[in-house]
Amino acid sequence: MGPVSIIRENQTRTVHVTAGNKPGTSLNKISVKIEKMIREEIPAEEGLIIEFSGDFAYLMKYGVKLVIIMLVSIFLVFGVMASQFESFLDPIIILFTIPLSLIGVVLLYIATGEMFNILTAVGLIMLAGIIVNNGIVLVDYTNLLRKRGLSINDACIEAGGNRLRPILMTTLTTVLGLIPMAFFPGEAAALVNPIGKAVVGGLTVGALLTLFLIPVIYAIFNKSSQKHSQKKEAKKQKLREERLLLKSKGKIK
Q: What is the predicted pLDDT for the residue at 235?
A: 75
Q: Which of 21-35, 74-88, 180-194, 209-223 has the lowest mean pLDDT?
A: 21-35
Q: What is the predicted pLDDT for the residue at 133?
A: 87
Question: In this structure, are strands 7-9 and 12-14 parallel, antiparallel, or unpaired?
Answer: antiparallel
Residue 251 in this model has a pLDDT that exceeds 60:
no
pLDDT digits (tens, 9 = 90+) for 136-156: 888 888 888 888 888 888 888
Q: Which residue has the higher pLDDT, 188 or 68?
A: 68
Q: Does domain 55-222 have CATH number 1.20.1640.10?
A: yes
Helices marked H in 148-188 — which ranges? 152-162, 164-183
Short-list 125, 129, 126, CA closest to 81? 129
Q: Are the beta carbons of 126 and 195 closer than 8 angstroms?
A: yes
3-class SS of residue 3? coil
Could you tell me the CA-to-CA distances from 146 to 87, 189, 216, 228 in Å, in that order?
15, 47, 15, 18
pLDDT digits (tens, 9 = 90+) for 27-72: 667 777 888 888 888 887 777 888 877 767 777 777 778 888 888 9
What dihedral angle (degrees, nearest 10) is formed by the CA atoms of 211, 217, 218, 222?
170
Distance CA 127, CA 104 (A): 11
Q: Got the DSSP string for 10-78?
A: TTEEE--------TT--HHHHHHHHHHHHHHHS---TT------THHHHHHHHHHHHHHHHHHHHHHHH
Distance CA 121, CA 111 (A): 18
Short-list 203, 189, 26, 25, CA closest to 124? 203
Could you tell me the CA-to-CA distances from 117 to 28, 52, 122 in Å, in that order?
11, 17, 9
Query: How would residue 160 be classed by pLDDT, with cut points 50, 70 and 90?
Result: confident
Query: How would residue 26 be classed by pLDDT, with cut points 50, 70 and 90?
Result: low
Q: What is the pTM of this model?
A: 0.71
Short-list 172, 193, 173, CA closest to 182? 193
Query: How would residue 232 be classed by pLDDT, with cut points 50, 70 and 90?
Result: confident
Q: Span 232-252, mean pLDDT?
A: 70
**Average pLDDT in the chain:** 82
Distance CA 198, CA 182 (A): 8
Q: Are the beta carbons of 132 and 78 closer than 8 angstroms?
A: no
Q: What is the predicted pLDDT for the residue at 250?
A: 62
Q: What is the predicted pLDDT for the residue at 249?
A: 67
Residue 167 in this model has a pLDDT that exceeds 80:
yes
Short-list 96, 65, 94, CA closest to 80? 94
Residue 4 in this model has a pLDDT that exceeds 60:
yes
